[in-house]
Amino acid sequence: MSTLSDQSRSSPKQPGRPPAHAFWKMAHKLGTMSESDRIQSIKAGFNFEMANAAKQTFRLTSQNIGTLLNLSVATFERRRKDAKPLDAVASERLDRIAAIALMAEEVFEDAAAASEWMATPNPALNGNAPVMHCETSIGARQVRRILNALEWGGVV
């Protein structure tokens, strides 16, 4: 069985493809995987490029992506330089972000609109951007509740 991290390591970068495309491709791939396969991919460690694609997609600073993935900026840059996979903690957090981004894409019916919503400070999250609120599972649950309310026309 080929894991998501194996596939992304072996596939070359496609010239001219924006990083957002890479993030959404990864998110959709994760969305089709069973929980067991996702766990296996998380344990194997996602390719660094997936974190970089998320960074670009949600307009995050190196400090922000480090905070989200529980990595120091130095470790984030070292993994980039050495082309090493992310650890299980960072990979699980990236999986969480991808799952919520897919939910946002479904609600807004557009990946670009979902990316924008995820990156924009939200008053219902004390002014935090939804993507940054996904640092914890509790925060991610709050983002899911807001997306559910938006989808069903409720007040947030």
**Is 8 within a domain?**
no
pLDDT of 58-80, one tens digit each? 999 989 999 999 998 888 888 88
- Helices 88-108 and 48-57, interaxial angle, to 10°? 40
**Mean per-residue pLDDT, 22-29:** 93
Domain residues for the domain of 64 are 18-151
Q: Which residue has the higher pLDDT, 69 or 15?
A: 69
Q: What span, in angstroms and rounded, lies between the C-alpha atoms of 44 and 155?
A: 40
Half-sphere exposure (Cβ direction) of 67: Cα atoms closer than 13 Å: 10
Output the pLDDT for position 75.
87
Q: Taken in order 76, 12, 92, 64, is the CA torsion positive or negative? A: positive
**Is 135 within a domain?**
yes
**pLDDT greater than 70 at residue 15:** no
Q: Which three-class secondary structure state does DSSP give residue 142?
A: helix
**Mean per-residue pLDDT, 132-142:** 95
Q: What span, in angstroms and rounded, lies between the C-alpha atoms of 62 and 55?
A: 8
Q: How many domains does the chain have?
A: 1
